[in-house]
Structure formats: C-alpha cells, structure tokens
Amino acid sequence: MNEQFKHIISTLSKGDTSIVENFFRLPGGRKHLENITLMLINMLPHHHDEKEAMFLGFVEVLERMERRIRRQKEGQEILENVFLNT
C-alpha cells in the first residue's frame, strides 16, 4: 500500500479530519471522494453485494465526519463568542 495512503488512513483513524475537510470545502469535493472510493471498491474481487455494503459504509463514515466537523466549527464559534464577550 502506498505510504501516503497509509498516512491518510492513520490520520483519519486518530480522529484528525483535516485531510477530508479540504475536500468538503471544495464544490463537489464530497462527491469526488465518493467517486474515487467507488472506483477503488469496484476494483476489488468481492461480490457485488459486498462492494455495495463497503460503499454504503464509507458514505456513512463521511456523513459522521461531516457532522463532527460541523459540530467542531459550531463549538469553535461558541468559544470565540464567549471570549469576545468577556
């Protein structure tokens, strides 16, 4: 496996979403991630049902990351407002 790919997986597994945040900021970036993943999954020698389950699992992971990023930004805004008002 490519060292850069290993680094990305390691970073995401530790909870650092900064790599994915860049994709979410770009127009169509999330869809781009989904398409890349779909292409990679389709190259695997598994059956169609297994591939579909993998892709749906990946989409769920993206959903959770997107929600977490949104909540982190909301928390950051709240903290900034608290410190601005004191």
pLDDT per residue as tens, the chain (86 positions): 567 767 777 777 677 777 778 888 889 988 988 898 899 888 888 888 888 998 998 898 888 888 888 888 898 888 888 877 76
Secondary structure E strands in 1-86: none
Contact predicate 17/68, CB 8 Å: yes
- Domain annotation covers residue 7: no
With respect to residue 66, please indicate whether it lies within any of the assigned structural domains: yes
Is the separation of the CB atoms in 17 and 31 below 8 Å?
no
Other Cβ atoms closer than 10 A to 20: 21
Does residue 62 fall inside a structural domain? yes
In a domain, 22, yes or no: no
Interhelix angle 18-25/3-13, nearest 10 degrees: 100
Q: For residue 64, tell me if it sits in a domain.
A: yes
Q: Does a structural domain hold residue 75?
A: yes
Split into its structural domains, the chain has a count of 1
Look at residue 82 and tell me if it is in a domain: yes
| pTM of the full structure | 0.68
**Is residue 1, in this structure, part of any structural domain at all?**
no
Domain that holds residue 85: 48-86
